[in-house]
């Protein structure tokens, strides 16, 4: 059962229901940015995504469906010990474990990208055939970063330790050291700088796997999403991504996160709005 003492309750995401028991998906915010390497502020992402969601319609013209009849629960934000990475990762792991035990789909809002590690680890334990779809500007495949094994720059390398080989699919990657690009050539698939074309080309290969989707908001060009800690020019457009939403409906998505939204770096709030709209679409697809 959901362990309520782990959470700080706050205003829920658009149309979130009050009944945990009947929910199909559970939203959890993770206000953590302890290992960020450039601009901090992503700890504020979960609350801002919820806040701006009230400006969205509950109806999706991409899917011709509404959130009105979808059952999902917003548990609020995890209560983390500030600055303690190891203990925070354990709290995140405990949270997702309880959600999976209740046979619900975990949907997590970051926060920095390191939060994805315990999520993918636990989801892979439940679904041994799991594949991960990773949308990002950065490969996040370093074995260590400034001597640290656990960092937002190493998160997918750590996650791969819990996946079968060739189960990582990366889209939009346009930054990283040479060793990261060599690693993914050997152990997965990378669509360099492209999102839409690479996704569609590989769709038939990954569509039958249980899938975890992790989306770093910096996969988008900074003109669409300036509110992030490590913006990287040359990214995809928001339209490119929303063109893929009908494909998401055909997938077996068993976990999802959206990370690296940093509201203090975007006074226009368009980054948070983009994240909220993506979340609306994903919830419709999985609930």
Closest alpha carbon to 42 in 215, 259, 199: 259
pLDDT, residue 1, reads 66
Cα gap 287→285, rounded to integer Å: 6
Contact 80, 32 (CB under 8 A): yes
pLDDT digits (tens, 9 = 90+) for 220-253: 999 999 999 899 999 999 999 999 999 999 999 9
pLDDT digits (tens, 9 = 90+) for 246-282: 999 999 999 999 999 999 999 999 999 999 999 999 9
Across the chain, mean pLDDT equals 93
- Give me the residues of the chain with pLDDT under 50, please: none
DSSP assignment string, 63-115 = TTEEGGG--EEEEEEE---TT-HHHHHHHHHHHHHHHHHTT-EEEEEESSGGG
pLDDT, residue 43, reads 93
Helix axis angle for 270-286 and 45-53, nearest 10°, is 80
pTM: 0.95
């Amino acid at each position: 059962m959901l362990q309520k003492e782990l959470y700080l309750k706050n205003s829920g995401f658009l149309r979130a229901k009050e009944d945990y028991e009947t929910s199909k998906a559970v939203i959890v915010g993770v206000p953590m940015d302890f290992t960020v390497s450039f601009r901090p502020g992503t700890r504020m992402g979960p609350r801002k995504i919820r806040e701006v969601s009230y400006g969205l319609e509950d109806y999706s013209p991409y899917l011709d469906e509404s959130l009105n009849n979808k059952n999902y629960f917003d548990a609020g934000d995890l209560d983390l010990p500030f600055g303690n990475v190891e203990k925070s990762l354990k709290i995140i792991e405990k949270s997702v474990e309880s959600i999976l035990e209740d046979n619900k789909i975990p949907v997590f809002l970051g926060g920095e990208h390191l939060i994805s590690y315990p999520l993918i680890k636990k989801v892979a334990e439940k679904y041994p055939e799991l594949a991960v779809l990773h949308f990002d500007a950065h490969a996040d495949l370093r074995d260590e970063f400034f001597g640290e094994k656990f960092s937002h720059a190493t998160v997918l390398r750590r996650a791969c330790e819990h996946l079968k080989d060739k189960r990582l699919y990366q889209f939009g990657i346009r930054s990283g050291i040479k060793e990261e690009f060599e690693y993914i050539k050997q152990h997965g698939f990378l669509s360099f700088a492209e999102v839409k074309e690479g996704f569609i080309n590989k769709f038939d290969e990954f569509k039958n796997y249980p899938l975890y989707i992790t989306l770093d908001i910096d996969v988008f060009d900074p003109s669409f999403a300036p509110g992030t800690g490590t913006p990287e020019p040359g990214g995809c457009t928001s339209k490119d991504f929303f063109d893929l939403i009908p494909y998401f409906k055909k997938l077996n998505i068993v976990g999802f996160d959206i990370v690296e939204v940093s509201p203090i770096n975007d006074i226009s709030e368009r980054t948070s709005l983009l994240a909220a709209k993506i979340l609306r679409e994903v919830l419709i697809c999985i609930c």
